[in-house]
Amino acid sequence: MITVATSVVLALAALGCSRAPDTAQQGSASAPSPAGPKPGGSLVYGIGDESTGWMPATDRWGPGPINVARALFDPLVVVGDDGQLHPWLAESFTPQDGNKTWLITVRKNIKFHNGEPVDGNAVVYNLQAFRTSALSAFAFKPVTNIEKLDDYTAKVTLDQPWGNFPALFTGQAGFIVAPEQLRTNNNEKPIGSGPFMFQSWKRDSELVVAKNPDYWRTDPQGRKLPFLDQVKFRPTPDESSRAASLAAGDIDVYHTSSSKGVARLVKGNLPENTKALFDESQGDELMVVLNTQTGPATDLRLRKAMQYATDRDALVAQYDDAYEAADGPFSTKSQWWSDSGQPKVDLDKAKELVAEYQKDNPGPVRITVAVTASTDGLEAGQLLQSQWAAAGIQADIQSQEVTKFSQSLVGGGFQAILFPFMNGEDPDVNYHFWTGTNIGTEGSISLNFPRWSNAEVDQALNAGRAETDPAKRKADYAIVWKAWAENAPYIFLYHTTWAIVYRDNVYGLDEVNLPDGQGKQQKISWGTVNLSNTWTDKT
C-alpha cells in the first residue's frame, strides 16, 4: 500500500511491513468453504496500535487504525494484486495540461452512512482538509487549487507535472469522509461510505462496526457485501498478547510484524487450526538513519565506515533467512529495484576510514543509536553494536518509547536511529521524505530524516515525479539509489514483512474484488486488509 506517508509518525506507530521474499513463503490462503460465503456472524480482530481519532486528515494512523479505516471508509484508489493502481471510490483520474491538472471523477449513486451523497463537493471538501492539515500539507505542497468541476468531478491544479498523482490517494489521503464529519470536526464518530458503519468506540479497548446494509459493492457473483454483520477491533500493542488471545479464542484474526514471530510463520510454524497470509506489497525496510546535519555522522568517513562494517546477511541469518537483505527502498522483485552499488562488508576498509576520521577527531569513536523499546529494536541494535565495535566504533544503544522516538526522528534529536521505513509500491509516494526541500534547520522539524540531499538527487526526484514512462522513471530513481549508497545517509538492512494470522473458519480475507471486476485488491498492505469479502462459519 502507498501509505499517506504524510504522517511523520505513521512508520513509527507500528514497526514494520513489506513483502515475503519468495513464493514459497506466502503461507496458506483462505480456502473457500464448500458451502460458499455465509452472510452474518461477527469477527474479532486484534490490531497492534490505537488511533488518536478517525479523521483521515488530522489523525495519525498506523496499520492498526488503517485496518479500521478500511472497514469504515472507501478509498479513492487502491493497489491491485497486479501491483498497479485501480480506481475504487473514484471512477477515473484524468490528467490534463501535461499532468499539471487532474480531474477526479467519483462513481455515481453512492452515499455516506448518514445519507449524504459521495460527490464532487465531498471530494473537494476532503482534499481541502488534507491540503491545510499539518499532517498532510507537505504531501500536498504542489497543489495550488482544488475546485468542483461538476456534480461528480473535482479539479486539482498543481505547480509541477505529477505523472503518478493518483498514487497519493491509495493511503490515508484517499479515505473520503462525509462532509458532516468535516463540518463538525468530529474524530470520534466517523462517517464513511465503507462496508461497515461506526457503532461504538472505547479508546484503547474496542471499536465496533456494523454492516452497512446499503453498501454499493457486490462480490463477483453479484452477492451484496459485506458478509459479516459485525467486526470488533481490539488494540493490543504487545504481539505475544495478540497471539495468546487467538489461542484462547478471544479473537479470530491478528496481524504481526514481529521479526522473530513472522520468521516462525514463514517457516510454517503456525498455531493449531490457523492459517496465515504474508504481505506481498513493497513495504518497509529496516534501516539505520544517520543524522548528517549535526553530530558525528556529519562526517562521510564515519558513515561509510559504519556502512562497510554492517553485515546485513548476519542480521538476516538470525531470523533463519526469512527476509531479503536490503540495498535500497525496494526488493529485487520490484520494477523499481536497480543495483545501487551498495558496498559489501569490508572490515579492513571500515577500520581504515575510522583511522582517517580519528585524525581530525582524536579519541574514541562513539555514536548513539536510538531504537524503539521493543524486542526487535533492541536485538537489531545490539547486533549492529557488535559489528561496528569490530571496526572501532562504539555504539551506545538508547531505547525510546514511541512518542519520544518520533520526536527525536522528526526534530533531529538523534545521531543514528534504527527503524523500518519507506513503504510504497511507487517511489514517488516517498518524495516528501527524500527531497532536499523538506530538510529543516537544526532543531526544527524535518521530513527528510537524515537531513541529506544534493542537487543531483533532487533533480532525479523531480524528473521521476514528472515522467510517466516507467523505464525513464526507473533510470531517474536509480540515480537516487546510487547517491544513497555512495553517501550513506541510510544503512539499509532488510525488507520486513507483515503477516495476518487467522482461524481456519474465517474465509475471504484474500478475495477482495476490484469494483470494475478487473481483478483483486492487493491481499495485505502494510499489515492491513479489507474485510468486505470476509465471512466465517464459526458457531
197-220 residue pLDDT tens: 999 999 999 999 999 999 999 999
DSSP 3-state of 528:
strand
d(CA 131, CA 153): 18
When mean pLDDT is compared across 31-35, 130-134, 303-307, 380-384, the lowest value belongs to 31-35
Closest CA to 461 of 474, 476, 446, 449: 476
Q: Tell me the C-alpha distance between 122 and 466, whole Å.
A: 28
Of 54 and 269, more confident: 54
* Ranges 6-10, 350-354, 393-397: which has the least confidence: 6-10
Percentage of the chain modeled with pLDDT above 90: 78
Q: Which domains does the chain have, with CATH numbers?
A: 10-19+39-280+498-536 (3.40.190.10), 285-495 (3.10.105.10)
pLDDT tens, position by position, 74-113:
999 999 988 889 999 999 999 999 999 999 999 999 999 9
More confident residue, 15 or 293: 293
Tell whether the model's pLDDT for residue 124 goes beyond 90: yes
- The yes-or-no verdict on residue 10 having pLDDT over 50 is no
- Angle at CA of residue 530, ends 528 and 536, nearest 5°: 110
Residue 369 β-bridge partners: 397, 416
Q: According to the model, what pLDDT value does residue 239 have?
A: 87
d(CA 533, CA 508): 5
Separation between Cα atoms, residue 536 and residue 539, nearest integer Å: 9
Q: Which helix (H) or strand (E) holds 147?
A: strand 143-150
Looking at residue 32, what is its pLDDT?
52
Which residue in 420, 479, 111 sits closest to 282, CA to CA? Answer: 420
Q: What is the DSSP letter of 373?
A: S
Q: Residue 19 has what pLDDT?
A: 32
Lowest mean pLDDT segment, chosen from 147-156, 182-191, 221-230, 513-522:
513-522
Q: Which three cell numbers stand for residue 515?
A: 469494483
Spatial CA neighbour of 148 closest among 114, 116, 105 = 105
Whether 298 shows a pLDDT value over 60: the answer reads yes
Q: Write out pLDDT tens, residues 496-515.
A: 999 999 999 999 999 999 99
Given pLDDT bands bounded at 50, 70 and 90, which one contains residue 15? Answer: very low
Instruction: List the beta bridge partners of residue 398.
Output: 370
Pairing relationship of beta strands 285-290 and 535-536 according to DSSP bridges: unpaired
| Residue 12: pLDDT over 90 | no
User: pLDDT confidence of 147, banded at 50, 70, 90?
Assistant: very high
| Residue range 416-420: mean pLDDT, rounded | 95
Residues sharing a CB contact under 8 Å with residue 151, sequence separation 6 or more, in sequence order: 119, 120, 121
**Residue among 147, 146, 143 nearest 159 (CA):** 143
Q: Do 521 and 81 touch, CB atoms closer than 8 A?
A: yes
- Give the per-residue pLDDT at 34: 62
Which pLDDT band, with edges at 50, 70 and 90, does 248 fall under? very high
- Classify residue 141 by its DSSP letter: T
Does the pLDDT of residue 371 top 80, yes or no? yes
**Contacts by 402-405, CB closer than 8 A, 24 or more apart:** 402/9, 402/12, 402/13, 402/372, 402/373, 405/12, 405/370, 405/372
Place of cell 572490515: 347
C-alpha cell at 300: 562521510
The pLDDT confidence band at residue 305, using thresholds 50, 70 and 90, is: very high
The pTM for the full model equals: 0.89
Q: How confident is the model at residue 17 (pLDDT cuts 50, 70, 90)?
A: very low
Task: List the single range of 154-158, 260-264, 351-355 with lowest mean pLDDT.
Answer: 260-264
